[in-house]
């Protein structure tokens, strides 16, 4: 049996290693340790950032494999099946007013460890990340080029918003619209896709009156506008 001289850590250090960082932050705040609080906050960011980037790339690698080995239809079917499981999340959004929906969407974007811009006009709210915290960072890191070489969907289609050479990870954004519209006829939000995907911000619009969602957002998915909308 190895002696104590071969140990890397004390029992106290091992125990401390297992404490959630958020708990350590709260302890530091309560103790008035300002610099320690800042240090721990940055540590928690690094921990979350590593997990976020790893899981994003894991998903992108999986979608790239599906696309290259099974084609466009398989990517559509895989995303459709995955997002069907998120119906309870969509139900939560629809159960609250559009102001709360906007707050929830902004919170979700902050979860990508990104700053968020929120705007409001008479008809809608617009929420965007100046640099997308998911695919945008991946694109800015040249992950769709060699050696990582994530896939781009070559042909324009529903899950690419009609664009060519579309980053495969970004296809899930189109599926969010497709699933939401298919469930109730109305989107929860609609997305304006920029010319340079991942470089310029995608703009998410939440309309205060869902009947004012422009026709173009339905047509690009080959969907009809809801009957109530057409009757007005």
Cis peptide bond upstream of 147, omega within 30: yes
pLDDT tens column, 47-66: 999 999 999 999 999 999 99
Q: What share of the chain is helix, strand, coil (3-state, %, to 5)?
A: 55, 10, 35
User: For position 136, what pLDDT does the model report?
Assistant: 94
pTM over 0.75: yes
pLDDT digits (tens, 9 = 90+) for 177-186: 999 999 999 9
Residue 11 pLDDT greater than 90, yes or no:
yes
Q: Which helix (H) or strand (E) holds 13?
A: helix 11-17
**Model confidence over 147-167: pLDDT tens digits?**
999 999 999 999 999 999 999
Place of tokens 């992950």: 143
């Amino acid at each position: 049996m190895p002696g104590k001289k071969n140990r890397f850590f004390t029992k106290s250090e091992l125990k401390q290693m297992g404490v959630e960082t958020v708990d350590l932050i709260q302890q530091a705040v309560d103790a008035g340790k300002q610099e320690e609080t800042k240090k721990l906050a940055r540590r928690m960011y690094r921990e979350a950032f590593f997990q976020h980037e790893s899981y994003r790339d894991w998903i992108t690698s999986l979608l790239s494999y599906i696309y290259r080995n099974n084609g466009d239809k398989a990517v559509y079917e895989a995303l459709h099946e995955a997002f069907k499981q998120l119906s309870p999340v969509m139900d939560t959004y629809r159960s609250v007013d559009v102001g709360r929906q906007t707050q929830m969407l902004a919170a979700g974007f902050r979860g990508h460890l990104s700053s968020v811009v929120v705007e409001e006009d008479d008809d809608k709210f617009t929420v965007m990340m100046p640099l997308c915290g998911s695919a945008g960072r991946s694109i800015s890191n040249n992950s769709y080029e060699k050696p990582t070489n994530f896939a781009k969907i070559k042909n324009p289609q529903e899950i690419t918003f009609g664009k060519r050479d579309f980053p495969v990870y970004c296809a899930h954004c189109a599926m969010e619209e497709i699933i939401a519209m298919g469930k109730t006829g109305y989107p929860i939000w609609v997305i304006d896709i920029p010319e340079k995907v991942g470089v310029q911000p995608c703009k998410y619009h939440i309309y205060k009156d869902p009947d004012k969602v422009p026709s173009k957002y339905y047509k690009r998915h080959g969907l009809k506008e809801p009957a109530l909308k057409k009757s007005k």
